[in-house]
Amino acid sequence: MSGKMTTIEELSELAELAVKALAKKGATDAVAHAQLGDSRQVKFANNKLASHSTWSSAGIGLFASFDRRIVSTTVREHTKGSVEKAAAILQKLARAVEPNGEFQGLAEGPFKKGREAHYDKSLEEPGDLGVEIVEKAVEAALEEGGKRTAGVFEFETGQEFLATSAGARLGSKSSGCYFSIRALADGEASGAQSICSRTLKALPIEEAARRAGELAAMANRRARLRARGIRRNMGAASARGNTGHSWKRGLCVLC
């Protein structure tokens, strides 16, 4: 273990080196994408903390085309030697690959950098943020009629650098957060909400949790009414299909 921490500047230099090394090996197109970041997840179930996870990762993804022979790899040892070795491996690999006629090459410049994406610095050093947010969300869902809750709150920050043989160079910082909750009432009745955003400020977590609890309560009422109706009409109870789903600004991930 070495004490030194990898920086995005070091990875960016290696990405530049990778594009040059691939060109030297005969690549007609080359892309190097360096990334460095941290992400965290607070997972909860049965209204309790299930686990708190932290991920820290760094890598340089390489993509190359040797006359439309497309190959890729990831460099995870961040040294000049590893980058040069990876370029040599890709060159060798490309010899075994047939040209892909559908690949039309990389877009050529000039490139203009667009608007900086929203970045939330508060997610870099979150302290007790994740646990506090989940605690409030669980309370909100229970207040609206959920009996049990489960879900995740995830957030991440990262730095990236992209270099291509077509001249694109882009460095950026990004942040993101995601909240997903399933509130369960009696039986099979439940409500789910999933939301995501670049910044925590724009993520209405409590509102989503309340809505999940509300949907669970509605599904539960519907199940009870339906069961009564079915018993009256058919003499048998069934409570299938009483799951309420809703989502905003993101995908519903309930399966």
Partner 1 sequence: MDEDIAQKAIAKALGLGASYAEARLMEWEDSSLVMKNGLLEATGVDRGQGIGIRVLAAGNAGFAATNRLEEGNIARIVEEAVRAAKRASAKLGAGLRFSDEKPAKAKCKVKPKKDPRNVDFEQKVAALKAIDSAALEGKAGKSNVPARFMSYGDAIVRKHYENSEGATISSEMPLTEFWYSLTVVDGGESMQHHRSYAATAGFEAMAGWELEENARQQVASMLRTMREGVTPPRGPIDVVLSPELVGIAVHESCGHPHEADRILGREAAQAGESWLKKGMLGRKVGSVEASIVDDPTIAGSAGYFLYDDEGVKARRKTLMERGHVKGFLHNRETAAQLGTTSNASARASGYDKEPLVRMSNTFLLPGDRKSTEELFEGIALGIFINTFMEWNIDDRRWNQKYVGNEAYLIENGRLTRPVKKPALEITTEALWSGLDARTNSIELYAGSCGKGEPMQGIPVTMGGPHARFRNITLGK
Binding span for partner 1 by CB under 8 A among 12-20, 108-116, 147-155, 195-203: 147-155
Q: Is 123 in the site for partner 1 (CB under 8 A)?
A: no
Binding span for partner 1 by CB under 8 A among 112-120, 134-142, 158-166, 227-235: 134-142
x/- mask, partner 1, residues 180-219, rule CB under 8 A, reads xxx-x---x---x---------------------------
71-89 core/surface letters (b: 16 or more CB in 10 A; e: else): bebebeebeeeebbebbee
Binding span for partner 1 by CB under 8 A among 1-9, 21-29, 105-113, 166-174: 1-9
Query: What gap in Å lies between CA 7 and CA 192, rounded to an integer?
Result: 39
**In angstroms, what is the minimal distance from the CB of 148 to partner 1?**
6
**In angstroms, what is the minimal distance from the CB of 141 to partner 1?**
11
Binding site for partner 1 (CB under 8 A): 1-6, 41-59, 70-74, 76, 89-90, 92-93, 95-98, 100-102, 128, 130-132, 134-135, 138-139, 148, 150-152, 180-182, 184, 188, 192, 240, 253-255
